[in-house]
Structures are given as structure tokens and as C-alpha cells.
Structure 1
Amino acid sequence: MSPRLLFAALTLCHSAMALAWDFADPLSTGTTRRAEASACDSARIQRPLALQDVVDLALCHNPQTHGLWANSRAQAAQLGVNLSNYLPTLSASANATRNQSQSGIAPTTTNHGQSVGLTASYLLLDFGGRAANLENAQQLLIAANATRDASLQSLWLSTAQAYFSLRSARASVAATRTAEAAAQESLTAAQARYLSGSATPADRMQAQTALSQATLNRITAEGNAATAAGTLANLMGFDADQPLNLAEDADLSPDPQVEQAIGQLIAEARRQRPDLVAAEAQIKAAEAQVEAARASGRPSVNLNATTSRNANSGTPDTRGNSIGVSLNIPLFTGMRTTYQTRAAEAQVESRIADRDRLANQIALDVWKAYQSLLTGSQALRMADDLVASAEQSERMTLGRYKAGLGNLLDVLTAQSTLASARQQRITARYNFLASRFALAQAIGELDLTQTTLIH
């Protein structure tokens, strides 16, 4: 084989591997890599974090993502292995010998020999075997990429939920501090009335008890907030004690547009969920494996070429060149091909069953997420009204008590109701936000645009 032909073969092999890598990551351009490097900058943790910042850092630094990308690259390399079957193989050999011989009293004779050879082989025809193996590798790569995307979406959702949990926990801290301040005001009013002779010691003790309970609630809320912060930092790939400064929260109201027909949402999920895409690719890969198993028992035709040069001391150099076509016909393989085909066909049936089970599970996931969204939307609408009426009731009863009318029990009841209403509004707000992301993930639409839902 000439050097020019060898260079052409190596170039083609390199192009095939490049195609495999592009198949694994088609968006891996210079501009994209620079943008990813900026998004993954660890220094962002020092700035106020919006939801998009949190998700970016989690996708960049969580160890799970590193393993997912490694699996995709490994499968891309397997695609390159199967692409190489369409290229010729080239091997070189070299030998050097030194022989000594002696007969009777004749002097010792020494012979030196050298030989070099170059052998090329190319598979001309195998009745679909390498094509089936290539299809299998391509479908497995599609499945690996889709599985990676599904796992990244799951990590995305977990990070968003942890982000909302931290916001909810910190909002609860603020609410308990407000309740603690209200309880302190009630105690001050009770003490003033006690000193003026218009209240009993029992009023003062009840107010002190209410203040102690409010203080305990505030301490508990602060502990929950610290736990939520550590959980979010861990998902982002940082130590649990990493300080987190969240950006200012935005106002939120229910969006009627998200309340779509459930049948349409299920259909969309079955069309674009990455894990279902992976299941479909696994079926196609298994079908290709059936064809590959069948092809293993069929004939194959190879083109072979050899060139060699031999040099031995005392004789002229010899050169040899050969080219030929070889035919290999498997006559009996001990039923191996039959059993391999049966095993591959059973694997197809198993993959189809897995796909159908997943399709049913997706429908249930969408249904649950949709119902959670509807519940959260309705709860959020009512939470503001509940807080407004509880605030009015608390102001009125406290004002009456300070004026010498009413009793302390009504004040403490109103304050407890207000604190509960505020907590319910906080829970409703962040449950609604989390349910929007959960529905997006159930449908398979969780991407960067979803972070604009709260800004």
C-alpha cells in the first residue's frame, strides 16, 4: 500500500471519529464552550443567586453530571469503533535473522536475513453485519444521550425544588420573627393593663407563654433554613457550610395559561420525554442486534493485499506482491448463531415492555404534576385573601385590647391565626412554583427558558 493511500485511510478514520464525537455533543462549538465556562464559574457563588445561577452551578459542579457526560463520550467512542469496520486494516511486519552453520571441518558459515512486509485487508461484503452493528451503536448513543438529558432534568428539578425550599424556609424565618414581634407587643400591652389594674396576672402569663412559643417557632424555622441552605449547596457541588445569598424575590401570581388540557400534556410528554426517547432508541438498538446476530452466520468477502521484501546474505533480494479476494462461508457453528438470534429477539421484546411501562408511568407523572399545579394555583389565589383577613382581625382585636376592651385570649388567637395564614401563603407560593417546574419536567420541557417563570 502506497504512503498516499495510507495517509488517506488514516484521514478517513480521523473523520469518522470526529463524526462520532459530534454525534455525542453536536453543540460543542468554541462559542458554546466559552459560554459554558462562564456559566460554570465558581465565583458566581459569591454573588446574589437567582434560580438560573443555582441551576447552572449544579449542572456544572455536581459530580453526577460528570459521570453522565463520561458515559456519553464512552458510547460515542463505541460508535467510532463500529465506524472503523468500514475502513481497511493495515499491518506491517519485520524480521531479522542470523544463522550459523558448519559441516565437518569446513569453516562456519554465517547468513543474515531481513524481511519486511505490509498487509492490507478490507471487508467487501458481510450481508449486513457491520451495518447492523453500526446501527446498534448509533441507537445506543442516542439512548445514552437521552438518558443523560433525563438525568440532567431530574437534577435540575431537584435543584429548583431545593432552591424553593430555601426561599420558603427563609420566608418562614421572617414570618416567625414578625409573629415573635407581635407576641412581644401583646406581652407589653398585657403588662401595661396589669400595672393599670385592668388585667389579671393570668393575662400576663398567657402573653409570656405566647411569646415563648413564638420564639421557639423562630428558632426552629432558623434551623430549617440552615438545613435547606446546606442541601442546596450540596446539590450545587459545594460544601454544606457554603454561605448562600439569594437574589431578590419577584412577585408571583397564578398563570391561567398553565392550566391546559391534561390529554394534550400527556401527548406532549410521550412525544418529547428524554427517557422515552432513550427507551425507543434501546428498542431500535436491540432490533439492530438481531440483524447483527443473523449476519454472523452469513458468508463474508474480504479483499487482501500484501507486499514484502526479503534480503538474505549471499542471495539476491526478493520482492513479492499479492492481491486477492477471500470468501468465508460458515457451515456449522454449533447452533451459536441460532441461539444468539433468539436471545436478541427476546431482548427486543423486553425493551418493548420497558417502553410501554415507561409510557404508562409518564402519563401518571403528568397527571400527578398537573393536579398538583391546579391545587397550588387555587391555594395561591386563596392565600392572599386569608392573610389579608387575618391581618385585619389581628389589628382589630389588639387595638380593642389596648383600649381596654376585649380580652387577651382573642388577641392571642388572632395572632396565631395570622401567623398560620402567613405560613400557608409562603407554602402555597413556593409549592406553586415547584409544581410548575415539576410539570415541565414531567412533560420533558424543562430547559433554560423555565428559569424565567419567576422573574
Structure 2
Amino acid sequence: MNHRPFCPPSAARTSAAAHHRRLVLAGMLAVLSAELPAFDTSDPFATRDITPERPALRIDDRLLPCQVPAADAPYGIVEVVDLALCRNPTTREVWSAARVQAADVGLAQAEFLPTLDGRANASRIRADSRSANQRNASLTLSWLLFDFGARSANLEIARQLMSAATSTLDASVQTVFLNAMQAYYNAQAARAAVAAAVESEKASRESLNAAEVRYRVGTGTPADRLQAQTAWSQATLTRIRAEGVRENSRGRLANVMGLDANQPLRLDDPPAARPDERFSDDVAALIGEARLRRPELKAAEAEYRAAAAGIDYARASGLPTLSLGAGPKWESLGGVSANASSIGVTIDLPLFSGFNTTYNVRAAQARSDVAAARRDNVRQQVALEVWEAWQSLNTATQTLRTSADLLASAEHSERVALGRYKAGVGNILDVLNAQSALANARLQRVQAALDWHVSRATLARALGALDGQLLSSTRSR
């Protein structure tokens, strides 16, 4: 005969209820595991996939190594921009801000999952000369099931702010890119200005020698000699000042690249300024292209969408929520232990909050209007920047071509004036005026080349298209 252990009806019901609760908890965990596929525990929501890459220069689909050239190696425009993008603190700061926003997207996604908390306690109780050990442990599962879209709105806010952060990073990268190019061409212009000043100083010295020769042979006057001496001293002073400007420009260039200002820099020969018609398109079409590409406008649009989602979040925050709670509990007191478990739902009904929700919604609507106004302002600013950059490039192109003619004419005039003076048929004022005009023509030629390179990059920045492709086309020419 088989004997079954006796089980009281109350114990049987308790056992059945506990078994039912365990099945419910197991079912909840199974649903949760089905919703979450295999993931990396360090990044379960794969926020690395939406995190932008660290700023670096890419030319012809090739990522540059971001290495400081050797001490004796010259710095070209590519090396300057490469170091600026990966070493400049500005790009690192904005990239880190984008990573923070990517983590905020993960936080918003985490709100859709339940929380599981464990708690354990051990103590000794003494009362009326009696003492006993008390121990307890519990697990609590909490899951917000329904909140009228508050979590979804919060996630949309985080995603739009992530998009804005990515666009802001792109805008900052292009700004640093442009600043690096400006610093490089300013340094090159300063170096060329020193070379032009040296040439002017040599020419002034030659004029002084000619004046001294004529003075010694009796065909020149002391006034001619003194005027030539003054012009030579002035040319020397101009050269000294130009050398100071050159050193300061090198320090600013080093600073843009994230280096110390006293870092020795040897610059490579600059690329030739050869005007083309690449950007000479219809300005209206350029403005339309810029409004599609400019990262600042994309960031402003994303911030507006985030503000619009904030209205939904403010409304949902004042509505009821439905939550699920469950968990087992164990407790022992004086050697007597007991097990318990619970499962249930909770409805939170915010009946009155002092009109908090009303004004939260009103504030969210006002923030949305502010974001829309900022977006429209950026849209107008983009058109203005394209127009100004386009006009500046056209002016720089014409100036560059004219400055070449001016320099050639000034060189010829200086040679004729000096030759006439040496031959005894000219006067020193003609020579000094011609040399002064030549010095100005040299500086204008240097400045024209600088303005053309910078204007070309500025228009690319205004279009939102300043990247390694511009440097690739510069090197190929």
C-alpha cells in the first residue's frame, strides 16, 4: 500500500498560490528575455552605434594617423588640419558632449525595463533579558507598464538631442577645420611678407649705394643720400616688424593644432592659388544647398523636435500610471523562519498637483516656440553667410588676378627708375616712389593669395561642405 503524506487544506492552498506566483514571475522573466536579445552588458542598448566617431581628417576614404611630424619635417596644410581636428581641445570637448548625449539615450531606453532590487538584513534583538537573532531577505521587481507615452516622449527627446549633438560636433569640426586653414595661410602670408620685406630692404640698400656713389663722384646731392638712407632704415624696420608678425602667426598656428605656442614649426611651401570656377554657381542654388547640408541648421531642427516632444512629455507626466510589483521575501526570528511572496498592480492617480502640469505644458510650448525661432534665425543666417562668402570669393579671385598684373608692373617700374638714376638721368624720389610701390604690390600679392585660399575655405564652410575633399583638390592642383 502506498502512503501519501498528509497535507492540510490550508497548506495545500498556500503551496498552490506560491507555485502560481512563481509561474507568473517566470513568465515575466521569459517575456523580458525575449524582448532583450543577446547584448553586451557594458552597452546593452548599443549606444556606441549612434555615437559619432572621434574627429579626424579623412582624405580619399583614408583616415590620417594624427601624428606630430618629425622635428625636421615640414608642416603642410594636411598635417595642420589633421592635428587640429584630433588634438584641439574644442573638438575633444564637443565629441565628449556627444558621448554624454548618447548615454542619455540609453538612460531613456532603460526606463522601459523593470527594476529588480535585493535587500538583506541581519540584527540581534534584546528585550526583557531575552535576545534573538533576526534575519530577512527580499527581492522586489518593479515595472512601469503604462504611462500615457511619457517614456516614449522622453526617449524621443533624448534621440533628437543626440541628433543635435552629432550635428553640433560636425559644425565644431568644420569650424576648427576652417580656423586651422586660416591660421596656416596667415602663417604662410606672414612668411611671404618677411620675404617681401627682405627684398624691399635689399632694393633700398641698393638705392642707398647708388646715391652714395653719385654723391662721391659729385653728381648727387646730400639730400638724395639722406633720403635713400631714410628709406633703407624704414625698410629695415618694416622687415623687423614682419618677422615679429611671422613668429606670432606661428604661435597661433601651433595653438590651433593643440601644441604649445613655442613649438618649432617649419612650414612647407603653400599650394598655389589658382582660381577656378568650382564655386562660381548660382548663389540661390548655393543657399539651397547650404540649407540642406549645414550642421547648425540640422542641430537647430533637432532641438526644435526635441522641444516639441517635451510638450507630450509634460502632458503625460500629469496622467495616471500603471505599475507592476512582485517579489519573494524570507524572514527568520529566533530560529523561526517564514517565506512570503507578493504580486500586484498599482495605479497612481495624480488628482491635484497645484496646477503644476498646466504650467509645465505651457512652459514646454513656449520652449518649442523659442526653438522654432532659433531654427528660423539659423536658416536666415546660413543664407547671409553663403552670400557673403560667395561675394568674398569672387572679390578675392578678381583681386588675385589683378595683383599679378600690379606686381609685374611695379617690378618693371622699379627697374626702370633705378636704371635711370644710376645712369644719372633720374632723381632719387622716382626711385624711392617706385620701390615703395613695389613693396606695396608685393604685400598685396601675398594678401590676395591668402584671401583667395581663406575665402575658398570659408565658402565651403558656409555650404557645410568643408572636409578632406577640399584639401585633396588643393593638393592635386
Query: TM-score, normalised on structure 2?
Result: 0.86
Structure 1 residues 169 and 42: alpha-carbon distance in aligned structure 2, compared to 1, 3 A threshold: same
Paired residues, what number? Answer: 444
Counterpart mapping for 1:261-300 below 5 A:
261-300=282-321
Counterpart mapping for 1:26-45 below 5 A:
38-39=65-66, 41-43=67-69
2:277 aligns with 256
1:390 aligns with 410
The 3-state SS of whatever aligns with 1:258 is: coil
Indicate if the aligned counterparts of 2:417 and 2:431 stay in contact, CA closer than 8 A: yes
Amino acid at match of 2:65: S
1:19 aligns with 46
Counterpart mapping for 1:412-423 below 5 A:
412-423=432-443
Aligned-pair identity in percent equals 45
Indicate if the aligned counterparts of 2:407 and 2:442 stay in contact, CA closer than 8 A: yes
Structure 1 residues 46 and 289: alpha-carbon distance in aligned structure 2, compared to 1, 3 A threshold: farther
Which deviates the most, 166-175 or 398-407? 398-407
Amino acid at match of 2:50: F
Structure 1 residues 438 and 325: alpha-carbon distance in aligned structure 2, compared to 1, 3 A threshold: same
1:309 aligns with 330
**Alignment match of 2:183 (pick from 152, 158, 162):** 162
The 3-state SS of whatever aligns with 1:256 is: coil
Amino acid at match of 2:317: S
Distance apart, 1:141 and its partner CA: 1.5
Indicate if the aligned counterparts of 2:55 and 2:91 stay in contact, CA closer than 8 A: no
Counterpart mapping for 1:340-379 below 5 A:
340-379=360-399
The 3-state SS of whatever aligns with 2:351 is: coil
**Alignment match of 2:93 (pick from 45, 67, 92):** 67
The 3-state SS of whatever aligns with 1:86 is: coil
Distance apart, 1:133 and its partner CA: 0.2
Amino acid at match of 1:423: L
Distance apart, 1:240 and its partner CA: 1.8
1:241 aligns with 262
Structure 1 residues 360 and 26: alpha-carbon distance in aligned structure 2, compared to 1, 3 A threshold: same
Distance apart, 1:176 and its partner CA: 0.8
Amino acid at match of 1:67: E
2:16 aligns with none
2:448 aligns with 428
Question: Any unmatched runs of 5+ in structure 1?
Answer: 103-107
The 3-state SS of whatever aligns with 2:431 is: helix
Distance apart, 1:17 and its partner CA: 5.0
Which deviates the most, 422-431 or 150-159? 150-159
Distance apart, 1:351 and its partner CA: 0.6
Distance apart, 1:218 and its partner CA: 0.8
**Alignment match of 1:99 (pick from 125, 129, 148):** 125
**Alignment match of 2:251 (pick from 214, 218, 230):** 230
2:19 aligns with none
Residues 221-256 of structure 1: CA distance to partner in whole angstroms, max 9, x if unpaired? 111111111121222222222221111223221111
Indicate if the aligned counterparts of 1:16 and 1:84 stay in contact, CA closer than 8 A: no
Distance apart, 1:424 and its partner CA: 0.6
2:80 is equivalent to residue 80 of structure 1 = no
Indicate if the aligned counterparts of 2:50 and 2:102 stay in contact, CA closer than 8 A: yes
Indicate if the aligned counterparts of 1:276 and 1:358 stay in contact, CA closer than 8 A: yes
Distance apart, 1:202 and its partner CA: 2.3
Distance apart, 1:15 and its partner CA: 7.0
Structure 1 residues 329 and 212: alpha-carbon distance in aligned structure 2, compared to 1, 3 A threshold: same
Indicate if the aligned counterparts of 1:65 and 1:152 stay in contact, CA closer than 8 A: yes
Indicate if the aligned counterparts of 1:13 and 1:87 stay in contact, CA closer than 8 A: no
Which of structure 1's runs of 4+ aligned residues deviate more than 4 A?
4-13, 15-18, 26-29, 43-46
2:222 aligns with 201
Higher normalized helix content (fraction of residues): 1
Distance apart, 1:46 and its partner CA: 5.5
Distance apart, 1:63 and its partner CA: 2.3
Residues 287-345 of structure 1: CA distance to partner in whole angstroms, max 9, x if unpaired? 11100111112222222221122233343x32223222322232222211111111101
RMSD: 2.6
Structure 1 residues 243 and 26: alpha-carbon distance in aligned structure 2, compared to 1, 3 A threshold: closer
Tell me the distance in 1 between the aligned counterparts of 2:196 and 2:55: 46
The 3-state SS of whatever aligns with 1:353 is: helix
Distance apart, 1:370 and its partner CA: 1.0
Query: TM-score, normalised on structure 1?
Result: 0.90
Indicate if the aligned counterparts of 2:69 and 2:75 stay in contact, CA closer than 8 A: no
Which deviates the most, 397-406 or 122-131? 397-406
Residues 1-38 of structure 1: CA distance to partner in whole angstroms, max 9, x if unpaired? 67x95995796683765522331225799x99xx8793
2:471 aligns with 451
Tell me the distance in 2 between the aligned counterparts of 1:80 and 1:45: 45
Distance apart, 1:454 and its partner CA: 3.5
Amino acid at match of 1:138: R
Indicate if the aligned counterparts of 1:175 and 1:423 stay in contact, CA closer than 8 A: yes
The 3-state SS of whatever aligns with 1:165 is: helix
Structure 1 residues 251 and 314: alpha-carbon distance in aligned structure 2, compared to 1, 3 A threshold: closer
Distance apart, 1:48 and its partner CA: 0.8
Residues 262-296 of structure 1: CA distance to partner in whole angstroms, max 9, x if unpaired? 11111111111111111101111111110011111
The 3-state SS of whatever aligns with 1:331 is: coil
1:105 aligns with none
